[in-house]
Every structure is written in structure tokens, then in C-alpha cells.
Amino acid sequence: MADWAPIAKEYDPLKAGSIDGTDEEPHDRAIWRAMLARYVPNKGVTGDPHLTLFVARLNLQTTEEKLKEVFSRYGDIRKIRLVRDLVTGFSKGYAFIEYKEERALLKAHRDANRLVIDQHEIFVDFELERTLKGWIPRRLGGGFGGKKESGQLRFGGRDRPFRKPINLPNVKNDFYGEGSSEKRNWSREGTRDWRTRDRDQERSRNKRWGERERSWAWGDSERERDSREERSRGRDRKDRDRKDRDRDRSREREPKKQRDDDKYR
């Protein structure tokens, strides 16, 4: 790992598909497609590739004039090429800017990245198509960057550099006592610490369980009490209804009794 670097010095689709550049098998079909691709840079592109910047994530309404206004502050510009759709003529959201001097190129590369232009945060990098050996564009499964939602992230570029690999020893063998006696230098104090920690965790777990049981029991008593109150209210309503019916019946009987008394007088 002595030659490890966060930025790829040569494009390898298999390494670009790995977060640390150490994968040995491709994890998505696009990497297979990139590995089988035979890409040749566009010979119709002119200009010095070592003085050209790649600018992406542009607002589709951003024009060449706007780009010249922003990037000319870093130095003299030789040419701006805003890539457009051949059919519609609309911007594709990225451009190439060639400077006259390397000093201006480096300054723009350092300061213009993540600059906001027309409400869009842009991405700036060196041109890679003609400068990075083995380059495969995104449309063929290569490139750098990408979105998590696509499941096809590419690492080794400025946007997503490689993460440094973690070289761990064979922890499992040492843990289970399969390593050499020199490595198994556990102390009894450490063992007691583990036991104490486990005991504390067990007590905490039992305490939480007891609190849950109490909360559940309290919830059951609450429900039972509510049910009893509801039943009591229902009985009271029935008693009131029965009394009202009895009262109405008594009122109906009184006029009938009065008529019978008048009949026999």
C-alpha cells in the first residue's frame, strides 16, 4: 500500500468502483461494461488538455457569457466550450474552459470548486478525457463521482477520493487464543473489567425490563378502571331510562282510572 493515493493516477474501472480501490470483483454491471469498453478520446476536441478545466453541475440556463464573467477573474481565458445537445441546442450542464496560463488554471481549480452560479453549486476539476490514462466516461460505466441512489458510485476523483484502506490483523484468531502466546497477553484485571461491565449491563437491562413491566401493568389497570367506569355509567343510564318509562306509564294510568271512577258514580 506504499503507492496508495486518494486520487487515481491511472483510470481502472474496477478500482474506481471500490471505496478504497482494493476491490477484486466488480459489484455492478456498469463496471463490467466499463472494463470491456474500448474508448478513444474525441479527436475533434482541440486545445491544450493540460490547461483545460472541466466545469459540471451547471444551471441549464447558464450561458457562455456568464461563465466567462465568473472564470475570467482567475486569469485570461483562451476558449470556453459549453456542451449542448445536438438536436435541441439546450445546455447539458457542463463545460470546458481553457486558460492561457497554468497559474490561472491552478487558481481556478483551487478556488472555483463549489462556487454558486445561477443558484447552482458547481463542480470543477481538471480535464480527464485526454490527460488520465485509461479514462472511461460515465456513459460507458466509468467516470468519477455519481449518486448514492444509482448504486454506481465511482471513487478516485476529486469529488469522491479513495478512502485509505484499513489494514487490520487477524483479530479472530488472537481473540480466541489461536495466536502465539506472546500475543495473548490478557490480564486478569482486564477480565474482571469485562465481567463488571457485563454485570452492570445485566443490571441495567433488568432495571429497564422492570420499568417496562410496571408501565404495562399500570396501562392494564387504567384500561380496567376505564372499563368499570363505562359499565357503571351504562347501568346509571339504564336505571334512569327505566324510571322515566315507569313515570310515563303511571301518568297514562291516572287519566284512565279517573274515567272509570266517573263512569260508576
pLDDT 10s digits, 40-65: 888 888 899 999 999 999 999 999 99
What pLDDT is stored for residue 175 in this prediction? 36
Residue 148: per-residue pLDDT: 79
Domain ranges of the chain: 13-150
pLDDT higher than 70, residue 92: yes
CATH class of 13-150: alpha beta
Instruction: Give the pLDDT confidence of 143-175 residue by residue, as tens digits.
Output: 998 877 777 889 999 999 998 887 644 444 443
pLDDT bracket for residue 176 (50, 70, 90)? very low
What's the whole-number mean pLDDT along residues 216-231?
57
The predicted pLDDT at position 80 comes to 97
* pLDDT tens digits for range 178-202: 444 444 444 444 444 545 555 666 6
Give the pLDDT confidence score for residue 24 in this predicted structure: 86
pTM above 0.85, yes or no: no
DSSP string covering the chain = -TT--SS-SS--HHHHTSSSS--SS-SSHHHHHHHH------TT--S-GGGEEEEES--TT--HHHHHHHHGGGS-EEEEEEEE-TTT--EEEEEEEEESSHHHHHHHHHHSTT-EETTEE-EEEE--TTTSTT---GGGT--SB--GGGT--B-SSSSSPPPPP-----HHHHHTT-S-TTT----HHHHHHHHHHHHHHHHHHHHHHHHHHHHHHHHHHHHHHHHHHHHHHHHHHHHHHHHHHHHHHHHHHHHHHHHHHHHT-
Stretch 115-120: mean pLDDT: 96
